[in-house]
Structure 1
C-alpha cells in the first residue's frame, strides 16, 4: 500500500485520477455532468480527462512503470 504523503504515492494518485477521468469522459451521462465545466474546481476533472485522452500512450506506459515499481521494487 502506498503512502499518499510520499512522492510515489502522489504519482500513483495522479495517474489513477487521470485514468479515471479519461474513462468517465466516455460515459455520456457522467461526461455532461462531471466534465462540462472547463474552469474552476470542476475544471480539474476536465483537464485530467483531456490529458488522459490525448496522452494515452504516455499515461499507459507511466501506469505500467509505476505498477512494476510498486509491486517489485517497493
Structure 2
C-alpha cells in the first residue's frame, strides 16, 4: 500500500490525477462542464488534462516504471 505522505505516493497520486483528467477531456459532457475554466481552482483540472494529452508518451512510461517500482522494489 502506498502512503500519500511519501514521495512515491505523491508521484502515484499525481500520475493518477493527470491520467484521469486526460481521460475526462475525451468525454464531451464532462469536458464542457469540468474543463471549461482555464484559470483559478478549476483550471488545475484543465492544466492536468493538457499535460496528459500532450505528454502522453512520457506519462505512460512514467506510469509503467512506477508500477514496476511498486510491485518489484517496494
- Shorter-chain TM band: over 0.9
Please state how far the C-alpha of 1:34 moved relative to its aligned partner: 0.4
TM-score normalised by the chain length of structure 2: 0.99
Instruction: Give me the whole-angstrom Cα distance separating, in 2, the residues matched to 1:44 and 1:72.
Output: 32
Aligned-residue CA RMSD (Å): 0.3
Please state how far the C-alpha of 1:35 moved relative to its aligned partner: 0.3
Instruction: Give me the whole-angstrom Cα distance separating, in 1, the residues matched to 2:47 and 2:17.
Output: 11
Instruction: Give me the whole-angstrom Cα distance separating, in 2, the residues matched to 1:43 and 1:72.
Output: 36
* Equivalent residue pairs, number: 74
Secondary structure (helix, strand or coil) at the match of 1:60 reads helix
Please state how far the C-alpha of 1:54 moved relative to its aligned partner: 0.1
Please state how far the C-alpha of 1:41 moved relative to its aligned partner: 0.6
Instruction: Give me the whole-angstrom Cα distance separating, in 1, the residues matched to 2:65 and 2:36.
Output: 31
Q: Any stretches of 5+ residues in structure 2 without a counterpart?
A: none
Please state how far the C-alpha of 1:25 moved relative to its aligned partner: 0.2
Deviations 1:39-64 (A, max 9, x none): 00100000000000000000000000
Instruction: Give me the whole-angstrom Cα distance separating, in 1, the residues matched to 2:35 and 2:70.
Output: 30
Following TM superposition, the consecutive aligned residue runs of length 4 or more in structure 1 with deviations greater than 6 angstroms are none
